[in-house]
Amino acid sequence: MRDPRYDILFEPVQIGPVRTRNRFYQVPHCNGMGHVHPSAMARMRGIKAEGGWGVVCTEECEISPLSEFSPYIEARLWDERDIPALARMCEAVHRHGSLAGVELAFNGYSAPNRYSREIPWAPSNTPVRSYDPVQARAMSRADIQQLRALHRAAALRAREAGFDIIYVYAGHDLSIPFHFLTPRNNRRTDEYGGVLENRVRLLRELIEDTRDAVGDRCAVAVRLAVDEQTADGLSREGEGADIFSMLADLPDLWDVNVADWSNDSVTARFAGEGYQEAFLLGLKALTRKPVVGVGRFTSPDTMVSLVRRGVLDLIGAARPSIADPFLPNKIDQGRAEEIRECIGCNVCVSGDHTSTPLRCTQNPTMGEEWRRGWHPESVEHAHRPGRALVVGAGPAGLECARILGTRGMDVALVDSLRTLGGRVALEARLPGLASWARVIDYRLDALSRLPSVEIYRESHLQAEDVLDFAAEHVFIATGSQWRRDGLGRALRQALPGLECLPVLTPDDLMAGVLPASPVLLFDDDHYYMGSVLAEHLVARGVEVIFVTPAADVAAWTHNTLEQHRIQRRLMELNVTLLPSHTLVRAMPEGMMTGCVYTGRTRFIGAASVLLVTSRAPEQALYQALNNTPERLQAAGISTLALIGDCVAPGTIAAAVYSGHRIAREFDAPAGSLTVKREIPLIEVQ
């Protein structure tokens, strides 16, 4: 079954007093569920354990209201009343023979304490990291003693909840032990500031305290960012390695990464698999304790190489475990080619940033395990078997066909084009988005294993064809096109004057058309498309003037940790940026723009305009069918459903989810579909 080359990945590893059954380690990751949706969080983590992850950790876990992360939803161990929620997660993880880890966190000046209104703590007086009008105060010696007591008490609660691995968190420039390490945050002159030995003192004490409190039964892990990738931050070659060496054998496990979070969780647009290796190399030689690290690893060969070369003992993963909770089991069972590989888009991160349950482009069941009862690897056999026709093989159609086929239905998947994948096939050819093709690759591979699914390419279907198809269930996934009239968020009516100059859309560019230079690119989409096309054009010698009504380029990508990288890249490419401006009127040699604050107009000369505003759903086929219910009935069609972008254009994640959901639910008996939720317990007065 298992390829013997991968045996090494299934060796147990001793971590202090506990032993993990294999080297697959789900490092702490946020999920937007945390203490608000504890059963959902527990179920999601339990499924990771079921899928073979030997260690499954929480996200950051608040230890006290003196440092709370609202409105972000993380785990919580403020007092003993928080224990049952996390005990539920530990039980779910233990049920499958895995270890449960908790990342205790006290975030100091990184958390403005919006809920508790406590004054945040920091090594030295400083404003908080966000733009909240809040300053943190320098901790006194008594505060340091109190912090140690709080951490110790939380570790005891964590042990009571059932955790096997308890973290001291010094990563991401987010937590107070890390703030003490860095001179830019720590300007103290007492024994906790100044020379490195002093700045390390708090971290050392917290490790010792935790070991003293729970070390008999639990392993003590340290998450340390050894490099910050900034001029004034820790560096792997400098103090990052020095700190690691000073504490070398003190913890039971090192979880090593880079800071800040955007550097740790870089998207595929900006870094490939294994991008952290340069920072991990050589650390293992400095300690006798096991080391775990991350790098969006999805290839078992890369994992084996990391272990064999002595870079890591444990293969850490957050995103690869989200995209495929069953990644370890698939390797174990000789099914590595079935791994649903993370595409590195960070849509998962957006859940945390918007304080909502996480979602994943590749894994539509993520975040839905408990509330909808979805399992990533199993679906019920169809209640209403019969032939299904899926029109359109974009992400929605591919996923719909995959799930229908898995449910044992006869499925025909039809697309006008030879190349399947719809918008993803086109977008994956744009700069930095090649890994997005994994959305197609995974599904085509899965479909090839489903004998009851047939694929028809280069078949453009009209309503008559659908009626003739003799399918009982018809799913229309015909996608969308980018609008050519400027309509979007800023412009609620078509832009006047567009007949004056050449107008292009992203569809034109993806079809190979190049606009005349200079092109005015109007980005009212605010996600990746505008900036990716700007890069695409600059690479082809076209001068780009980037106009957007938002204050930032690609404003929504703050939620995917990319915004600053995107803006920097466009600036480095000498793209002219005109933020906070909308379009007023197209003119023969350019565009009249208007400031979104003052309304002041400004003429921008351009030879063409590229409109990245919104998309029109392609519903012609659906409407033609839906308008003649008597013909549907005569053709024996009982289900006619619209899915994906042709309902309402959105993210690829939304299209996959739409296809997945309809395929699971279209035949559900009336009243059987429920979405569970947990509501707060009302205190007895």
Separation of alpha carbons 544 and 607, rounded Å: 10
What tokens appear for 409 in the block? 């239905």
Stretch that binds ligand ADP, among 235-243, 313-321, 478-486, 525-533 (CB under 6 A): 478-486
Q: Are 34 and 84 contacting, i.e. CB atoms less than 8 angstroms apart?
A: no
> Does 323 sit near ligand SF4 (CB under 6 A)?
yes
Instruction: Assess 185 for contact with ligand SF4 (CB under 6 A).
Output: no
Site for ligand ADP in 640-669 (CB under 6 A): 644-646, 655
Judged by DSSP in three states, 204 sits in helix
Catalytic residues: 30, 169, 172, 264
Binding string to ligand ADP for residues 594 to 613, with x set by CB under 6 A, is what? --------------------
Q: Give the span between the Cα atoms of 258 and 263, in whole angstroms.
A: 6
364 binds ligand ADP per the rule CB under 6 A: no
Selected binder of ligand SF4 within 360, 403, 542, 555 (CB under 6 A):
360
- Closer to ligand SF4 by CB, 215 or 376: give it: 376
Which of the ranges 109-117, 171-179, 236-244, 417-425 carries the binding residues for ligand ADP, by CB under 6 A?
417-425
Q: Is 460 in the site for ligand ADP (CB under 6 A)?
A: yes
477 binds, among ligand SF4, ligand ADP, none (CB under 5 to 8 A by kind): ligand ADP
- Considering CB under 6 A, how many residues would be counted as binding ligand ADP? 25
User: What is the residue whose two structure tokens read 């084009």?
Assistant: 417
If one asks whether residue 67 binds ligand SF4 (CB under 6 A), the answer comes out as no
Cα 559 from Cα 479, distance rounded (Å): 25
Task: Give the other-Cβ count within 10 Å of 494's Cβ.
Answer: 12
Could you tell me the two tokens for 438? 């994994």
* Identified binder of ligand SF4 from the candidate list 207, 226, 348, 621, rule CB under 6 A: 348
Q: If binding is defined by CB under 6 A, does position 344 make contact with ligand SF4?
A: yes
Site string for ligand SF4, 467-496 (x = CB under 6 A): ------------------------------
| Residue 58 near residue 75 (C-beta atoms within 8 A) | yes
User: Tokens 């479909």 label which residue?
Assistant: 447
The C-alpha angle with vertex 462 and arms to 457 and 463, in degrees rounded to 5, equals 130
362 binds ligand SF4 (CB under 6 A): yes
Angle between helices 652-665 and 395-406 (to 10 degrees): 30
Nearer CB in complex with ligand SF4: 177/364? 364
Q: Which of residues 281-320 bind ligand SF4 (CB under 6 A)?
A: 319
Tokens of 145: 């003693």
User: By C-beta, is 315 or 656 nearer to ligand ADP?
Assistant: 656
Amino acid at 262: S
- Closer to ligand SF4 by CB, 345 or 393: give it: 345
Asked if residue 421 lies in contact with residue 393, where contact means CB atoms within 8 angstroms, the answer is: yes
Total Cβ atoms within 10 A of residue 219: 28
User: Considering the complex, what minimum distance in angstroms separates the CB of residue 489 from ligand ADP?
Assistant: 20
Q: How far is the CB of 384 from ligand ADP (least distance, A)?
A: 23
* Helix, coil or strand: residue 1: coil
Among 100, 139, 203, 343, binds ligand SF4 (CB under 6 A): 343
Q: Which of ligand ADP, ligand SF4, none does 609 bind, CB closer than 5 to 8 A by kind?
A: none
Paired with 258 in beta bridges are: 227
CB 247 within 8 A of CB 222: yes
DSSP letter assigned to residue 337: G
Specify the residue, 163 or 657, whose C-beta has the smaller distance to ligand SF4: 657
Q: What secondary structure, in 3-state letters, does 486-545 show?
A: CCCCCCCCCCCCHHHCCEECHHHHHCCCCCCCCEEEEECCCCCHHHHHHHHHHHCCCCEE
Find which of ligand SF4, ligand ADP, none residue 348 binds, CB within 5 to 8 Å per kind.
ligand SF4
Distances 228 to 22, 192, 263, 300, 680 between C-alpha atoms, Å = 30, 21, 8, 28, 39
* Interface segment toward ligand SF4; rule CB under 6 A; list 49-57, 156-164, 346-354, 598-606: 346-354
Q: Three-state SS across 99-147?
A: EEEEEEECCHHHCCCCCCCCCCEECCCEECCCCCCCEEEECCHHHHHHH
* Closest CB 385 distance from ligand ADP, rounded Å: 24
Q: Do residues 545 and 520 make contact, with C-beta atoms less than 8 angstroms apart?
A: yes
From the list ligand SF4, ligand ADP, none, pick the one residue 549 interacts with, judged by a Cβ distance below 5 to 8 Å according to partner type: none
For ligand ADP, which residue of 60, 415, 441, 524 counts as binding (CB under 6 A)?
Answer: 415
Binding site for ligand ADP (CB under 6 A): 391-397, 414-417, 422-423, 460-461, 477-480, 618, 621, 644-646, 655
User: Binding residues for ligand SF4, per CB under 6 A?
Assistant: 319, 322-323, 342-348, 360-362
